[in-house]
Amino acid sequence: MSIKIKRAAGAIVFFMLLFATLAWVQEVVTPDFDWPEHNRRSLKSIRSAFNEPKGSIDAVFFGTSQTFCSISPMTMYDIAGVRAYNLASTNQRIPVAYHLLSAILHDQSPKLVVVDASGFFYTEKEMQSAAKYEEMVNSLPWSRIREKWTLMTEIAKLQDRENDWKYILSSVISLLRYHTNYRLTQRDNVEMYLKDLYQRKGYVATFDTVPVEKENYKIVKAMLDPNDDYASDDDRKEKLTDSIAANEPYLLNMQQLCREHGAQLVFMKVPVCTTTEHRGYWSFNKHEMTEALAEKMGVKFFDMCYEDIGLDWFRDSSDSGEHVNYRGTKKITARVLKWLQEEFGLSSEHNETWDRQWSYQSQVFAEEMEYLNLELEYDLVKYLERVREGDYVLFTIVSNGLGKYWSDEAQQAFEETTGTKFDLREKKNAAYVSVSSQGRIIEERNGKNACSIKVDLENGLNCKLSSKKTKSRSAGSIVIDGKRYDSPGQGVHFVVYDNKLGCIVDSVCFNTASKAVTAQQNTEYKEDMRLKIIEYVHGQMKGI
């Protein structure tokens, strides 16, 4: 080989390596979450949709955060072996959904394209949010460069920057825009990327339980009732009419795209329980307008806000009614699946390779959910029962006094879970700390006003627990290996350490001074815990 050819080949290989490295760096620095402080929606999970085997997906879902919290494709697969993907994103606009659909249809041939109606009521101005388009540009893979470019030119048009090629280019090549994120890149972003563990198929699980306020619950019921005054008095009606009319052309485009690819477009509405104070509210007027539009377009519409699917808004919501937690998800997903099966005969063809992959992912998902599920339990007695079942170490303190709503059942469950003989309701136990594991007390102490213990456990943990009766900020603390884990609030604090995972899996304070005995979580440990769970579950699953 002549030296010239060698050099040319060397240069080609070098530049390929260089671009591959830059592409990797781009993946790392491009924001993983479109709204870091809030829903933590992983954009990369949308991107992962493009990694699914070609033609393997039978249904895709579009919508807003309400949708990605409500529809779990893995749960669908568990129930009926249906392979679906959730492509919803925070405040997803219909034009954005249209472009995303256009991109996904290159690789997939879904039978059903399900669009949640929550996005139909963004105003024309809101529809033109460049930020939403930009998120989608980031989430599209490089194989969909055409769609990336189209989206960016759309954004440029919206911002009157059509000729600003630098702006368009730096938006398409997200490294140019987000390169400064080297300082913001979180450990989990990088680790998650390296492990490629986005296997929830677009679903985002939440485990908090924040019940709907009773007053709001009544208002929402009124908003959904066609006979209530609210429907006729809704002064937003005109605005809503304009909004849905502005969205109609894009929905028609989506329908056209579906027809061209042999898919069927359907509308649905996942349940919500929020008042008009939240933008994602649902009302009879919205329902009626969507129904009219569906009829006009010849599309079927399923509004779960008018269905009794067994949702308990006092238990199944993670944020007072706008989004459901994992418990709510299971109910909604099962109902949607049933509807899609009955109405459209949704099913998946058997394919050994795909099924093997989905089956594995489904098991991992189930295991993950099992571990994360502990957070969902807000009932004190049931919580203690769950703790009893696992291989846990339970750290307990009473802070600011016990309060009067520590029931007999709670006391009994506590005794069975920890093996204690102390009755926490007695005055001599006003301050209490204990460390227990599998129904056996390792160490405990009580006191009228204050008490504390310091224990070095067999598994290497060293912990320091303190409890005070007084109402001060430092009325009690649970410090494990130098880090404080207790939750804020008055009542009984539990910190649960999982022996198998080797990390804290829950930290909660049950406020036994209030009648509702509400549970308040300390979320600081969660990042570590989730990574540990994923690592552990994958380790366990490797042999499968």
Partner 1 sequence: MNIVSLFYLAFVVAVALVYFIAPRRIRWGILLGASLVIYLYCGRRMIVWLLLTSLSIYVGGLLIDRRQKRYLGQLEAGGELDKNSKRALKKKNERDKRCYAALVAAVNIAIWVTFKFADVFIETLNRCFSADLSFVHMALPLGISFYTLQAISYVIDLTRGKCEVQTNYFKLLLWLCFFPQILQGPICRYRETAHQLYEPHDFDYRRVKFGMQRMLWGFFKKLVIADRVVSVSDKVFGYSAKYQGVIFIIGALAYTIQIYADFSGGMDIISGTAEILGITMPLNFERPYFSRSIAEYWRRWHITLGTWFRDYVFYPLSISRASQVLSKHCRKLFGPGIGKMIPTYLAMVLVWLLNGIWHGAGAQFVVFGMYQGILIVLGMQLEPVFQWIIDRFRIRTDCFSWRLWQRVRTLALIMGGRIIFKAKGLSEAGRIFRSIFTTHNWWALTDGTIFKLGLDAWELFVLFVAVLVLLTVSILQEKGVHIRETIERQNLLFRWGLVIGAVVAVVLFGVYGINLDLTGFVYAGF
Judged by the rule CB under 8 A, the positions of this chain that interact with partner 1 are 7, 14, 17-18, 21-22, 25, 29, 166-167, 169-171, 175-177, 179-180, 182-183
Nearer to partner 1, 145 or 169 (CB): 169
- Return the bridge partners of 59, or none: 84, 112
Q: Which amino acid is at 84?
A: A
Answer for the pair 286, 121: CB distance below 8 angstroms, yes or no.
yes
Answer for the pair 293, 121: CB distance below 8 angstroms, yes or no.
no
Nearer to partner 1, 182 or 306 (CB): 182
Nearer to partner 1, 25 or 516 (CB): 25
Q: How far apart are CA 398 and CA 241, in angstroms?
A: 55
Nearer to partner 1, 8 or 292 (CB): 8
Residue 308 is encoded by which pair of tokens? 């009794």
Residue 141 is encoded by which pair of tokens? 């893979």
What single DSSP character describes residue 210? -
Q: Is the dihedral of CA 384, 468, 209, 312 positive or negative?
A: positive
Nearer to partner 1, 169 or 366 (CB): 169
Smallest distance from the beta carbon of 523 to partner 1, in angstroms?
25
Nearer to partner 1, 180 or 474 (CB): 180
Smallest distance from the beta carbon of 18 to partner 1, in angstroms?
5
* Residue of 220, 232, 188 whose CA lies nearest to 28: 188
Nearer to partner 1, 179 or 300 (CB): 179
Smallest distance from the beta carbon of 193 to partner 1, in angstroms?
16
* Phi and psi angles of residue 306, each rounded to the nearest 5 degrees, phi first: -105, 15
* Residue of 374, 118, 365, 110 whose CA lies nearest to 257: 110
- 378: number of CA atoms within 13 Å, CB side? 20
E strands, 131-235, are: none
* Phi and psi angles of residue 330, each rounded to the nearest 5 degrees, phi first: -60, -40
The radius of gyration computed from the CA coordinates of the chain, to the nearest angstrom, equals 26
Smallest distance from the beta carbon of 480 to partner 1, in angstroms?
29
Nearer to partner 1, 184 or 516 (CB): 184
Residue 407 is encoded by which pair of tokens? 């029931």
Smallest distance from the beta carbon of 3 to partner 1, in angstroms?
9
Smallest distance from the beta carbon of 17 to partner 1, in angstroms?
6
Smallest distance from the beta carbon of 35 to partner 1, in angstroms?
19
Q: Which amino acid is at 319?
A: D
Nearer to partner 1, 14 or 306 (CB): 14
Nearer to partner 1, 24 or 360 (CB): 24
Smallest distance from the beta carbon of 16 to partner 1, in angstroms?
11
- Cα 4 to Cα 1, 8, 10, 159, 240, distances in angstroms: 8, 6, 10, 48, 68
**Any idea what the Cα angle at residue 210 is, between residues 33 and 489, rounded to 5°?**
100
Smallest distance from the beta carbon of 25 to partner 1, in angstroms?
6
Nearer to partner 1, 25 or 194 (CB): 25
Q: Is the dihedral of CA 472, 477, 482, 483 positive or negative?
A: negative
Smallest distance from the beta carbon of 166 to partner 1, in angstroms?
7
* Residue of 58, 62, 145 whose CA lies nearest to 97: 62
What single DSSP character describes residue 42? B
Write a three-state SS string for 447-480: ECCEEEEEEECCCCCEEEEEEECCCCCCCEEEEE
Nearer to partner 1, 17 or 194 (CB): 17
Nearer to partner 1, 14 or 360 (CB): 14
Smallest distance from the beta carbon of 152 to partner 1, in angstroms?
11
Question: What is the residue-wise DSSP string for 286-334?
Answer: HHHHHHHHHHHHT-EEEEGGGS-----TTTSBSSTTSSB-HHHHHHHHH
Smallest distance from the beta carbon of 155 to partner 1, in angstroms?
11
Q: How far apart are CA 92 and CA 247, in angstroms?
A: 12
- 512: number of CA atoms within 13 Å, CB side? 25
Smallest distance from the beta carbon of 250 to partner 1, in angstroms?
27
- Cα 405 to Cα 246, 402, 492, 511, distances in angstroms: 53, 8, 11, 8
